[in-house]
A = this chain, B = another copy of it.
């Protein structure tokens, strides 16, 4: 495990909400980008049995923030983002993969794709997001 991944996991462990949901940080670095994984369970679904949109948004938002952090350092927050839901969130888990599109000194524009992980391990795109991450302080 790289030092960056270890640091990212410490930040994630300090987020009460990410602990409540059970999010794992799988990758965190300038080259590999950011990968967050969230195992699906009934508590994370909406009335039709799919992952709640708010869960998908949360995961995209968090992955965008972490992606910004790979360029700007760990003290960052999401200023704004936009998400398009493409397919229902299904399967055993959600995977969010985020990368930096452009980074300045105090902010970064990042992109994130969220995938459903199906029973056979294959991935299906379920949402795509784009947003601005700002350095704090």
Assembly of this chain: how many copies? 4
Contact in complex: A109, B130 (CB < 8 Å): no
Contact in complex: B19, A43 (CB < 8 Å): yes
Chain A interface SS verdict (over half): mixed
A1 to chain B, nearest CB (A): 20
Interface membership of A26, Cβ < 8 A: no
A89 to B7, CA, bound (A): 25
Residues of A that sit less than 8 Å from B by CB: 11, 14-20, 42-47, 52-55, 57-59, 61-62, 65, 77-87, 101-102, 107, 109, 111, 125, 128, 130, 132
28 A-B pairs whose Cβ atoms sit less than 8 Å apart in the complex: A14-B46, A15-B52, A16-B42, A16-B43, A16-B46, A17-B43, A17-B44, A18-B52, A19-B43, A20-B44, A52-B58, A53-B58, A53-B65, A54-B57, A54-B59, A54-B61, A57-B61, A79-B107, A79-B132, A80-B82, A81-B83, A82-B130, A84-B102, A101-B125, A102-B125, A109-B128, A130-B130, A132-B132
